[in-house]
Amino acid sequence: MKKVLLGMSGGVDSSVSALLLKQAGYEVYGVTMKLWEEGGCCNLSATMDAVKVCKQLGIQHYTLNYEKLFYEKVVNNFIDCYSNCLTPNPCIECNKYLKFGAMYEKAKELGIDFIATGHYAKTEYSDIYGRQILKKSKNIKKDQSYVLYNMPKDMIGKILFPLGDFEDKEQVREIARANKLATASKHDSEDICFIPDGNYKKFLEKNSALKQKEGNIVTSNGEILGKHKGLYYFTIGQRKGLGISYKEPLFVIGFNKKQNEVIVGTKNEIYKKEILVKDINLLLIDDIKQSMTVNVKTRYSAKEAEATIEKIDKNTIKVVFSKPQPRVTPGQSAVFYVDDIVLGGGKIFS
């Protein structure tokens, strides 16, 4: 019997994943990672919910403390990004270092064959590419392949996503209700796990050197329109909460860190034709030897856009969109797709 270590956050997705894996004949071990002391998706309450489900299903549960690693790799990155006028995606860092890093190492230590999570995505072997591939979930609205692009490619064949073939989240909830799982009615969490109240500005001021510092809000030609309290209050593409009035809607289009300025512009100015991406991780191929046409997603909630990608040095890819794209934000990731397969991706830095 194949063994699998399943990451369990105490939510309905990971709970149903545990049930489905057991029904598929795996010997399932649940693990909840303790990542943050206060609130969040992996707090004491979440752990207790995961334990309840494991008891219901008759599977063993582990709780592992990774608070130090989480702070080091995820929280510090979050702080560093905002300190440098970037907009981070902490889920991507957590997946890389915790779920597909520490959790995978624990599985190997325990002699367990596979790891699994409740993400909406798919892995399978492709005869065309001659390797294991990462694909989109059938549930396109819930698809989470975007936040999984930076897993090591040699791990893809060792990762299971039991929810990948469900086309609707309600189907998952119905399975939970039909099997009377303790988490069947639990709401989805959409907050940053270490900022459960959603107030990231307060979190930064409490946990970093970032403090309110007044500066100017200016247009791209230098016209001063108002004042701001700190650059970390803003992100590229932001329209609401600027505290200024103008003859037409304005959006954040950039920052001048040296002058402590937030730069705003009109709708036309939020579009970009080209971007540069670094910290590349390729899954579908080993290298980009010539330009390729792919679909690119520049943030989790963005629609894919056709683009040409070209490697310009060892760790940098230039992306040229067929049509200029709005709100492309440094610090976020650009993920490349060939049809429904994840080719790879990297961090947007320009």
Residues identified as active-site:
94, 193
CA–CA separation, 63 and 69 (whole Å): 15
Residue of 267, 264, 266, 270 lying closest to 218 (CA atoms)? 264
Residue 17 C-beta-side C-alpha neighbours within 13 Å? 28
Direct distance between the N- and C-terminal alpha carbons of the chain, in angstroms, rounded to an integer: 49
Query: CA 346, CA 335: separation in Å to the nearest integer?
Result: 7
Question: What are the backbone angles phi and psi of residue 148, rounded to the nearest 5°?
Answer: -110, 0
Backbone φ and ψ for 67, nearest 5 degrees, come out as -60, -45
Are the C-beta atoms of residues 306 and 295 closer than 8 Å to each other?
Answer: yes
Residues 6+ apart with CB under 8 A from 199: none
Residue 105 makes CB contacts below 8 A (sequence gap 6+) with: none
Distance CA 228, CA 289 (A): 45
Burial classification of residue 187, based on how many CB atoms lie within 10 Å of its CB (0-12 exposed, 13-18 middle, 19 or more buried): exposed
CB neighbours of residue 273 within 10 Å:
13
> What b/e readout covers 21-39, taking b as 16+ CB neighbours within 10 angstroms?
bbeeebebbbbbbbbbeeb
Residue 63 CB neighbours (<10 A): 15
Residue reference for tokens 């103008």:
246
